[in-house]
Chains A and B, each alone.
Chain A
Amino acid sequence: AQSVSQHNHHVILSEAASLELGCNYSYGGTVNLFWYVQYPGQHLQLLLKYFSGDPLVKGIKGFEAEFIKSKFSFNLRKPSVQWSDTAEYFCAVNAFGNEKLTFGTGTRLTIIP
């Protein structure tokens, strides 16, 4: 069974700071990787996803993530955060050929104006 670890539970940054949120997964086979965001009072939205190809994927709102297979990692990055990025961020994985998503426990990001 796959599992996902997000080690940063709560991150507080000032506007314009750079962001990196960690995500590690545990699974021996081929995986698809996702980052979802949940803004206050809103539903889960897809930020970006990796299925195959270039391990550096770009998503919406200036976010990107890099898949490092040897480290079982899929860290989320943004060079300069904005106050509107305040939200809960979830890393998720599914095994190739299986739609079931396994989520991490989430990272709460607070941006101080």
Chain B
Amino acid sequence: ETGVTQSPTHLIKTRGQQVTLRCSSQSGHNTVSWYQQALGQGPQFIFQYYREEENGRGNFPPRFSGLQFPNYSSELNVNALELDDSALYLCASTSRLAGPSTDTQYFGPGTRLTVL
């Protein structure tokens, strides 16, 4: 157990719908990153949040958006769902002080999203 929690565990949506996934970071961690892991692939970086602002983004369209709250928890929102969005969505947290952290990122169990 890493202390990073995600909800829900599983989710089934239909194409075109919107979804919100949630992540609570490990105690003391102020930086949250989101990753998408398609079946048979390694996780791919979506974006990162630090001090409630997006701080780095991977190759994902704007319909992937997020939020970070004052308690450092985070949400990932995906609009206009497509079939290819079916994947395991992982949240990872780490602690950053003055600059980018060299500390380990700790991953949550993920949310399995299925788009029909």
Contacts and interface: CB of A to CB of B under 8 A. Distances in A.
Interface of A: 4, 6, 32, 34, 36, 42-46, 49, 51, 90, 92, 96-106
Interface stretch (B14-22, B68-76, B92-100): B92-100
Interface string B58-83: 10000000000000000000000000
Interface of B: 2, 4, 31, 33, 35, 40-45, 48, 56, 58, 90, 92, 94, 96, 99-102, 104-110
A103 B94 contact: no
Contacts of A6: 42
B108 A98 contact: no
21 contacts: A4-B42, A34-B104, A43-B4, A43-B107, A43-B109, A43-B110, A46-B106, A51-B102, A99-B96, A99-B100, A100-B33, A100-B45, A100-B58, A101-B33, A101-B92, A102-B45, A103-B35, A103-B43, A104-B42, A106-B40, A106-B42
